[in-house]
Structure 1
């Protein structure tokens, strides 16, 4: 299964097994639905999507890709989890979403095929699930047009992130299935910023994302100690 791709077969299998639950708002993917308006609003504030050609890397069941298409973008969502893509395609048909398409292809393969083709590239909650995140960042830089924007979100690597993102989210609060994340694959903002600079992406903005388990409320803040987002622009 995609043995030559920058992908972990165990990770693909894990998300494929859950594919039928992507659009169940009470499922394991509930946190993604809850944070999606925050992600979308932040992207829109920095790179208005109307009329733009947008690529969503690691799109899964299409939660963000579908939302960006509804903002007037022409969106391509890519992933290597076949079942998740089928769910995304079915949802687009059932919901009548215009301007979104999906392909089973890696970021690196698409970069070789369609360099400098997209106004906006998003890669959200995906880098911590691949063997070589720097390779994905390089592919993002290749895929975006000069002057275009690339957005990332991932999880910091420190004791607080381990406590909140793994112990808290997976074992105490059961927000996510146990085993969703592996601490060693978490990425410090300084590391991701380094990958971006090496790929010719200029760091523009950094935001943190926080969660209150009592109110079940998410919000963006300046605290990047656990979940964080980076906005970059191609030179």
Structure 2
């Protein structure tokens, strides 16, 4: 049996905060604030209605829930059981249709259900695992030929260190201290290479910027800090 591509310290960190996933003023408030932006971007590139989607590293289900409400049939997967329980409870309370969650690794699901999904999302997750390239390969295996895979993560440079770590964690207190480790951040050219090597074509990128006053996030062309990539698996003839 191969060892799971997971950092126990990262699982413990997010598990300890699991009960706060749906607190709009809590530690995960930034995810709630950026979710309409990333959801709209994904849906504009590949309409979600009727799509079969897997959300890799779904956490408490913020994106998974919103994609299901857009009409997708969504499976959210994560290895943090406490976060999944919170996600499941919220789906029950909100009566979200066509949404289920599983405690399974991306690589294991890819071996079990290859090429079964129209869309794969993996947002704010790659920078938290020991081997992000393995996750990219798994996402590629999960999507059908011609299907879409969406990633988001944080760039690795002096600006991102100042803004995403020092600024967001220690000055503005947007996210808990220690959320991100600089050495694990991923440059866009590195993520693009992972995608290319796995068989994904990168079609679009967007940056996510934050303005402290009036505390607002916005999409932009600036990928120097937070960024998203839209990719498609080769083949499919679409």
Map 1:119-134 → 2, pairs under 5 A:
119-134=118-133
Question: Which residue is equivalent to 1:111?
Answer: 110
Question: Which residue is equivalent to 2:167?
Answer: 168
Q: TM-score, normalised by structure 2?
A: 0.97
Question: Which residue is equivalent to 2:215?
Answer: 216
Q: Counterpart of 1:232 in 2: which secondary structure? A: strand
- CA distance in 1 between counterparts of 2:125 and 2:51 reads 22
Q: Counterpart of 1:65 in 2: which secondary structure? A: helix
Matching of residue 157 in structure 1 with residue 156 in structure 2: yes
Q: Counterpart of 1:92 in 2: which secondary structure? A: helix
Q: TM-score, normalised by structure 1?
A: 0.99
Question: Which residue is equivalent to 1:140?
Answer: 139
Question: Which residue is equivalent to 1:199?
Answer: 198
Question: Which residue is equivalent to 2:61?
Answer: 62
- CA distance in 1 between counterparts of 2:86 and 2:192 reads 33
Question: Which residue is equivalent to 2:16?
Answer: 17
* Structure 2 residue ranges without an equivalent (≥5): none
Q: Which runs of 4+ in 1 moved over 4 A?
A: none
Question: Which residue is equivalent to 1:87?
Answer: 86
Q: Shift of the alpha carbon at 1:214?
A: 1.2
CA-atom RMSD in angstroms: 0.9
Q: Shift of the alpha carbon at 1:4?
A: 1.5
Q: Shift of the alpha carbon at 1:3?
A: 8.6
- CA distance in 2 between counterparts of 1:181 and 1:3 reads 26
- CA distance in 1 between counterparts of 2:101 and 2:136 reads 20
* Structure 1 residue ranges without an equivalent (≥5): none
